[in-house]
Amino acid sequence: MSQSPAVGIDIGGTKIAGALVSADGRITHREQVATPEEDTSAILDATSALIATLEAAAGGEVAGVGMACAAFVDGASGYLWFAPNLPWRDLDLAGEVGRRVGHEVLVENDANAAAWGEYRHGSGRDCEDMLLVTVGTGVGGGSIVDDRLLRGGHGIGGEIGHITMDPHGPLCGCGNHGCLEVFASGTALERTARELIASGAAKGARLRQRCGADPAALTGQDVTELARAGDEGAVGLFTELGTRLGEGLASVCAVLDPSLVVIGGGVADVGALLIDPAKEAFASHLVGRGQRPSPRLVAATLGNDAGLVGAATLAREARA
């Protein structure tokens, strides 16, 4: 396998992050540009220019180029069906960028790429069956089964954020009601915090004070900071979120039976405040609990770099 660095790209709604990634998963160089607004060609051009910059930083020789984005993607062909936070529908993303940079690129869903990054170089090393759940603005997932990334028949498997928890629950951005994402994401955290403030309950006093009694002004970071400081209301919100996450993961594990569940994403940065209630709910809802081996739940180790590392690693291994 080539010891040259591989290029990893993570395309988001506000920024396009890029890095050179070594064969052992270390990031050796970073670049970042803003995502052009609502212009497909401009985003493709910006992404291609970023790849060229990273290739130049590597001396012109790279072991592959991998791209990750929050979208329904056929990882085998690089064809993108739908991206919720970008103006992309039915786009040959791998082909469009490949033509611009002059060689093949690999495209993968961001959570799948992050799962591969954690599997190869993070918490999932030496584990053949692993589930990654990312808890951020939404809830994403990626699964490794028998040492292979589970993509499904159309390349869009692993969307665990859209399993139904309550068909009569809040409307999800996917168009369905009561998905795991509406109960266990950063968006859900902000919604429930604002509901607590509006209720006038005493345990929401510090949250109310934090936003000047304007629920719309409250952010997820406000809730996180108060929870870390021990505020009862904020801690309770993370307990509720972690509980719903654990319930959802128990349902997913009834199907996939991984030996390890890795919890990552920006919201998961609070650590035990989220993961402890998730573990408790998971243990009490797992099918066959007490009579079967139970998957371990652990925190991710690569943080926001998991997608970059995973995309680069997938591209490197595709060339091997």
Q: pLDDT tens string for the chain (320 positions)?
A: 678 999 999 998 889 999 999 999 999 999 999 999 778 999 999 999 999 999 999 998 999 999 999 888 988 899 999 887 788 899 999 999 999 999 999 999 999 999 999 999 999 998 999 999 999 888 999 999 999 999 888 878 888 999 999 999 999 988 899 999 999 999 999 999 999 999 999 999 999 999 999 999 999 999 999 999 999 999 999 999 999 999 999 999 999 999 999 999 889 999 999 999 999 999 999 999 988 999 999 999 999 899 999 999 999 999 87
- Cα separation, 317 vs 6, whole angstroms: 10
| Domain total of the chain | 2
What CATH number is attached to the domain comprising 71? Answer: 3.30.420.40
| 3-state class (DSSP) for residue 209 | helix
Same-domain check for residues 32 and 148: no
Same-domain check for residues 26 and 61: yes
The answer to the question of residue 117 being in a domain is no
Retrieve residue 78's tokens: 């690089």
Q: Tell me, what DSSP letter sits at residue 5?
A: -
Same-domain check for residues 131 and 97: no
- Which residue type, as a one-letter code, is found at position 36? P
The answer to the question of residue 99 being in a domain is yes
Same-domain check for residues 213 and 175: yes
Same-domain check for residues 194 and 249: yes
Same-domain check for residues 223 and 293: yes
The answer to the question of residue 1 being in a domain is no
C-alpha dihedral sign at 211, 217, 221, 223? positive
Same-domain check for residues 13 and 141: no
In sequence order, what E strands does the chain have? 6-11, 15-21, 27-34, 65-69, 72-74, 79-83, 88-92, 106-109, 130-135, 139-145, 148-149, 260-264, 296-299
pTM for this entry? 0.91
Same-domain check for residues 141 and 276: yes
The answer to the question of residue 41 being in a domain is yes
Same-domain check for residues 42 and 67: yes
Same-domain check for residues 265 and 142: yes
Number of residues in the chain: 320
The answer to the question of residue 115 being in a domain is no
Q: Which domain holds residue 163?
A: 123-300
Same-domain check for residues 144 and 246: yes
The answer to the question of residue 118 being in a domain is no
The answer to the question of residue 217 being in a domain is yes
Same-domain check for residues 76 and 161: no
The answer to the question of residue 248 being in a domain is yes
